[in-house]
Structure 1
Amino acid sequence: MIRPWFMLLIACGAALVASAAPLLPTARAEVDALLTRLQTSGCEFNRNGTWYAGAEAKAHLLKKLDYLEGKDMVSTAEQFIERGASASSMSGKPYLVRCAGKAPVQSAVWLKAELQQVRAARAASAPR
């Protein structure tokens, strides 16, 4: 006999799975803007101890975004930063961003600061 609590557990799990969604269009535009900023910033991106140019970083992070979207694991820019652009899924080591004349910072910090700028620019250009 199936217990009522077991059915409730299954229903809750199904609701969680059903609520997962691919990246929303506004969030996709934000992520694209972030990755373009990384690519054109002149900064370098460290992944597992090796420094890469912005274009290589963008290509890598787009692959991670595709994976996350395919698994319905991301629907906001913040989720992309936390789940895909903060650390290596292989080693667990945090990604770093190093810009000229500045100490390296964790990519999550750099990307979140850039996201604030992207949103501020969008808000400033919005019709009133």
Structure 2
Amino acid sequence: MLKKLFLIMSLLVLPALADTTEEINHLINYVKTSKCSYIRDGKTYTGSEGAKHITAKYDYYKDKINTAEDFIRLSATKSILLGTKYYIECPGSPKVESKKWLLEELKKFRSK
């Protein structure tokens, strides 16, 4: 009986994990391929450099990340050392907090 329950629970959880991984990979790629600047600790980086940084943080926090929102909160919104927020600045647009920018993209991705 316990084996059946475990199997059923596993089958329910696996699609959610796949969706979360797909969402996180999409967000990392979105940062990487954007023409926007990634600003952290007062310094400006390319999208590719920003993606590399948040990927490293994702690898560090992976055990604490269960959702794309966890990924954004732990890996892509602020400096753990300085506590300063990360920002995104896209050509022709005002600078915005990376959290807001990524949550907006996540919402668009989920609606597809």
| TM-score interval for Structure 1 and Structure 2 normalised by the shorter chain | 0.7 to 0.9
In percent, how many aligned pairs have the same letter?
Answer: 35
The aligned residue for residue 81 of structure 1 is 72
The CA deviation at 1:82 is 1.1
1:35 matches 2:28 = yes
Find the aligned partners of 1:50 and 1:33 in 2 and give their Cα distance: 24
Q: Which runs of 4+ in 1 moved over 3 A?
A: none
TM-score, normalised to structure 2, is 0.83
Matched, 1:114 2:102: no
The root-mean-square deviation of aligned C-alpha atoms, in Å, is: 1.2
Instruction: Choose which of 25, 29, 43 in structure 2 pairs with 1:50.
Output: 43
Q: Distance in 2 between matches of 1:48 and 1:115?
A: 24
How many pairs are equivalent?
A: 97
Please give the alpha-carbon distance, in whole angstroms, between the structure 2 residues aligned to 1:49 and 1:59. Answer: 17
State the secondary structure of the residue aligned to 2:64.
Answer: coil
Q: One-letter code of the match for 2:60?
A: Y
Aligned partners of 2:31 and 2:98: how far apart in 1?
10
Aligned residue identity for 1:38: V
Query: Does the 8 A contact of 2:41 with 2:79 survive in 1?
Result: yes
1:68 maps onto 2:57 in alignment: no
Deviations 1:40-99 (A, max 9, x none): 110010010001001001110000000001xx2111000111122110111110000000
Distance in 2 of aligned mates of 1:31 and 1:116: 12
Residue 95 of structure 2 is aligned to residue 104 of structure 1: yes
Whole-angstrom distance in 1 between the partners of 2:58 and 2:67: 11
Name the CA distance, whole Å, in 2 between partners of 1:120 and 1:41: 20
Q: Which has the higher helix share?
A: 2
Q: Distance in 1 between matches of 2:69 and 2:105?
A: 11
